[in-house]
Structures are given as C-alpha cells and as structure tokens.
Structure 1
Amino acid sequence: MEYKNLLIETTDAVATLTVNRPQALNALNSEVLDELGRALYQLEYDSAVKVVVLTGAGEKAFVAGADIKEMADMSSYEGHRFAVKGQHVMMAMEKMKKPVIAAVNGFALGGGLELALGCDFIYASQKAKLGFPEVTLGIIPGFGGTQNLSRLIGPNKANEMIFTGRMIGAEKACSWGIVNEVFAPEELLDKARETAAAIAGVGSLGVAYAKDAIANGLNMVKEDGFRYEASLFGVLFATEDQKEGMAAFVEKRKAAFKNR
C-alpha cells in the first residue's frame, strides 16, 4: 500500500513506521491521521511484522503537533470531529496485538506527544522536547492527552504540563516516567529496533495477551484485573506456542514459536 506521508520499512519482523512530512515538522493533519489509521491496520494483519517502531522523518521533530493551519478555521463541530479522528488512531495503537515503540527523535508536542503516548512505551533522543502547548492556543489536548498522561504519571505532573503549556526535555520526561530511556540522537533508532527485535524473538501470542492484560486491567478494580489475567493465562495453555516454549525450556533449546 502506498502512502503520501508515511514510510514503512520491515526488517526481521520489525516494521519502522515513519511520519514523513519533514517540511511541516511531521505535523498531523487529517490526511496524515487517515493514513496512520490505514497503516496500523495493515501492520496489524501483516504476518511478517511482530513489532512496530514509530518515529518521525528528519532530525528536528518526531511530530511537532497537529496542523494548526488546518485547525485555525475549524468550527466547533469540525474541531470535535478532528479530535475523534485523532483519538481513533491512538486507540488503534493501544488495541493492536503487536507492540508499538515510539522513537522520539525531536519535538513531540501536542498531537505528537499524544501519538507517542498512544504507543506501548517511549524511547527518546537527548535532543527531544515534549509538551502540551494547547492552552497557549486557547484549546486543550484533544487526541487523548489529558487521559493518557494523567494515567501514566498521575494528575499532579500532568496538570503542570498541560496547564502551563511548557516543554520539558528528555531527561526530565524520563525522570517523570513519560519516557523509558534516553539515547544519543545517532543511537535512538538502533536502540528502539534492538528492543523491538528482542520482543519479536519471543512468543508473539504471549506478548499480545500481556499487552491485553495490562491495558484492560488498568480499567478494572484490582481483583477483577487478577481474574482477567488468570483467564488469559489459562487460554494460553491451549496454544501451540505454550507447548513449544515450555518444551524448549526443558530441552534447553531455542523455542520455535508459530504464533498459534
């Protein structure tokens, strides 16, 4: 499938999905959001792909935000529709069975930070800057930022970031728990792909069920989360991958998982 604003490169079961609009600092307009939705669907059902790394083209920006030129003249109805379109992309990543790792190589502001937060975890360049500047434009984050950030780092720090509109550096974002790890710019993509390859090398069904248990368990009271985890744990014992994984451990060999 051809995309105007995206690049997809797959190597050894790891797909690198790049937002390729560097002339606009990879800003998210309606066209880019539509393409991201289609690309995520394509990658979800591509049997050659087990993990996705999401990044932005160029050295300046991961995604600098939603496209303000497109938003400036929107009506209330159009603004709502645009927010819902963006939220659908974030939810598509969260619901994917395959892990998505954000490699934040520069500015991740507004919709760009929301895109990163929609991934399963974030690696960042030392040069990365993250923030929600929406209040400086008279609006709020609309692609799930108020919900995802507060759930990730708690309301106090989320309130500070969102209420002030200030940017923070990668190291501070790491200390706050937004970013998992910070790397030199030239190392970032390789490190993200290295982690993706490690994930691709284990049982994909196990990873998918673990992602499901974590994401859905967060929306449950703890006892219900325990029950949900146990049910998924039990289901996996009916899979070929469970038999193969445990047999390989006993026989001291590398497992040959078949994702079934």
Structure 2
Amino acid sequence: MQTNPPVLYEEDNGIAVLTFNRPHARNALNIDVLQRLSEILDAARTNDSVRALILTGAGTTAFSAGADIKYLSEATPLAVRDFARLAVRITNKIENLGKVVVAALNGYTYGGGLELAESCMIRVAASHAMLGHPEVRIGAVAGFGGTTRLPRLVGKGRAAEMLLRGRAVDAEEALKIGLVQGIADASRLMEETKALVRDILDQSPTAVRLTWEAMHRGLNMTLEESAELGADFFGLVAASDDFRIGTRAFIEKTRPRYIGR
C-alpha cells in the first residue's frame, strides 16, 4: 500500500470522498493522480455500496491548481497530448458514471482542476475559492475539456472572456454566472456538500440517473430531439417501482421510500 497515495479515498454511508493528495504542489495533476483517479472511478461504477462521489483537494489552499506545469514543460508534444487525452477520458467517465458526482472546491481551482470540476454534476465552492482557466497565460489551451464544457455552463461570451484573458473569478462571481451552485465557509464546505448530496440521494435513484442522462445527452441534440428524449425517459421511469412509490406517496401525503428500481 502506498504511504502517500496521490488520491485519498474514504467511503461513508454510500458517499465516497476522493481527495487529490498533493498539497505541497497545490494538488497539481500529474500522471499518478490521473491514473489513480481513473482506477477509483472504474471501481466506483460497479460498486453498489457507492451511490455518490465527492471530489475535493487536500488542505485548504487548493482543489487543484491544474496540470503539473513542470511535467508539461519537460514532456514531448506527444506525451502532452496523451496526458490530455487521459484527462479527457476521465472527465467523460465522471459525466457518464451513472452516479451522483459533486465537486467541493476548497481553494484554487485552475486549469485542469477546473476542467475536472466542470465535468461533475454540481460544484460547491469555499468562500475563498478562486476559479479560472489561466492556460493562455502560459501559451497553452484548456485541453482537458474546458473549451467544451465552460461555454455550456456559463455561456459562450462569458467563457470566451475567461478563457481568452486567462482571468480567474472568485466564488461570488462564479455563483453569479452559474459556474458553481453553492458557496460555503471553508470550515463547513464538506458538511454542506454532503448535505446537498444526501438531498439528491433521498430522491429516486432511477429518476436522478435518467434526469442527468437526459440533460447531458440533450445538450448535444436539437431542441426537439432533446425534448423527445425527456419524454421517452418520462415514459421509461413510469415503468419503475420508484415511480409508483413516489406518486402514491404524493397522493397519500407521506414521505416516499425509494428502492432504486
């Protein structure tokens, strides 16, 4: 067992907390971090005891300051491309995991770190957090999916301004533009993030999964196709036990107890 693993893993009551563990380097992403993160995601996909995941960073300074610049400065162009493609595969895994994934941004969230957070369903930021894509400031491109996901989250104009200037935003501005969905004091960040996750887990697992899938897939469809997909999923979920449980509880004015099928 590694004495200092690149990603820490803790599981409690169905919620797995994944912590980037390079605080001395502001949790910068290197190959070890990405490979371990990929392995944990693969295991979580088939682990029925894990219903949700929270991504965060060790310490109070940074979620992740982005890709390890020292490695990038020494790597060959092909190695840099392979590194980015590994990161892209991971962000795709996060989006398509079939489970709730939330980012708890405990400090600086830059570059590749922000791109990992952008692939999560929801982001909660500590009040002192800063978020940004500074890649152009070192002559680089947001190559882990930032040029794709940031415009979808905050709109093309805001994304262009952030990406082309390399400008960071504080937690308040990130909330205002929709980049994060909540702000918490640093001392309460994990507590409030877990409360948000538990609120989602109180809902029907089937409905939550299909709602996310309809949203995620629908963004790449026409308006009509996306709406039809939502209608199809509405019909599909109506065949579930959870649908019967939820509708009956609504009529009887009781609290539903979902079973996930």
- Is 1:142 matched up with 2:181? no
- Is 1:68 matched up with 2:69? yes
What's the CA shift string for 1:20-77, capped at 9, x where partnerless? 1212211111111111111112222221222211111101000111111111122221
Q: Distance in 2 between matches of 1:50 and 1:13?
A: 5
- Is 1:77 matched up with 2:73? no
**8 Å CA contact retained: 1:51, 1:199:** no
RMSD, aligned CA: 1.6
What's the CA shift string for 1:70-89, capped at 9, x where partnerless? 11122221121111111011
Unaligned runs of 5+ residues in structure 1 are none
- Aligned position for 2:251: 250
Q: Distance in 2 between matches of 1:132 and 1:220?
A: 27
What's the CA shift string for 1:114-156, capped at 9, x where partnerless? 1111111111011101111111111111100011001111121
Q: Distance in 2 between matches of 1:180 and 1:52?
A: 17
* Cα distance, 1:247 vs structure 2: 2.7
Unaligned runs of 5+ residues in structure 2 are none
Which amino acid is 1:130 matched to? L
* Cα distance, 1:226 vs structure 2: 1.1
Which amino acid is 2:191 matched to? D
* Cα distance, 1:100 vs structure 2: 0.9
Q: Distance in 2 between matches of 1:225 and 1:140?
A: 30
Q: Distance in 1 between matches of 2:117 and 2:152?
A: 14
Q: Distance in 1 between matches of 2:234 and 2:13?
A: 28
Count of residue pairs the alignment pairs up: 260
* Cα distance, 1:243 vs structure 2: 2.1
Which amino acid is 2:142 matched to? P
What's the CA shift string for 1:179-211, capped at 9, x where partnerless? 112111111111100000111111111100000
Q: Distance in 2 between matches of 1:224 and 1:167?
A: 35
- Is 1:48 matched up with 2:49? yes
Q: Relative contact order, CA 8 A, sep 6+: which one is greater?
A: 1
Q: Secondary structure at the match of 1:186?
A: helix
**8 Å CA contact retained: 1:12, 1:197:** no
Q: Secondary structure at the match of 1:27?
A: coil
Structure 2 length-normalised TM: 0.95
- Aligned position for 1:21: 22
- Aligned position for 2:94: 93
